[in-house]
């Protein structure tokens, strides 16, 4: 698949989201601060706030099985990452649509690892 990246525009904060065949990572100033492998991924959720439309109000939450995972502001989702998540068996695109339309504080679960 290759490596896909998305970086903040503010170089002072320098947060970068990277995903590849192994999983996803959050880097701060070039150092990995959080990671989750696709094999350990347990849940994908979208958290919404009532802060929009002029502030970030949609966040992707990746939860791993060993306490791994992290939150990604939607503005930092790398190109192709949503499509990668949609490949998870039983991924709920309707939950994503509902989250994108939400203007309140809420959590929408788009995927859970089958038991």
Assigned CATH for 4-112: 2.30.29
Largest CA distance in the chain: 42
* Paired residues of 31 in beta bridges: 28
Q: pLDDT value at position 51?
A: 86
Task: Report percent pLDDT > 90 for the chain.
Answer: 73
Q: Provide the whole-model pTM.
A: 0.86
- pLDDT one-digit tens code per residue, 79-113: 999 999 999 999 999 999 999 999 999 999 999 99
The per-residue pLDDT for 12 is 55
For the residues 11-19, what does the mean pLDDT come to? 79
* Domain assignments of the chain as residue spans, ordered by start: 4-112
Q: What is the pLDDT of residue 55?
A: 82
Handedness of CA 24, 110, 53, 68 (dihedral sign): negative
């Amino acid at each position: 698949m290759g490596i896909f990246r998305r970086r903040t525009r503010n170089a002072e904060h320098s947060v970068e989201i990277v995903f590849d065949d192994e999983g996803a990572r959050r880097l701060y100033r070039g150092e990995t601060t959080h990671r989750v492998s696709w094999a350990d991924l347990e849940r994908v959720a979208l958290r919404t706030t009532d802060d929009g439309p002029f502030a970030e109000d949609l966040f992707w939450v990746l939860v791993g099985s060993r306490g791994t995972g992290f939150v990604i502001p939607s503005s930092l989702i790398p190109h192709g990452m949503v499509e990668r998540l949609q490949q998870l068996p039983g991924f709920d695109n309707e939950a994503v649509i509902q989250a994108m339309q939400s203007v309140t504080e809420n959590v929408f679960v788009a995927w859970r690892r089958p038991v």
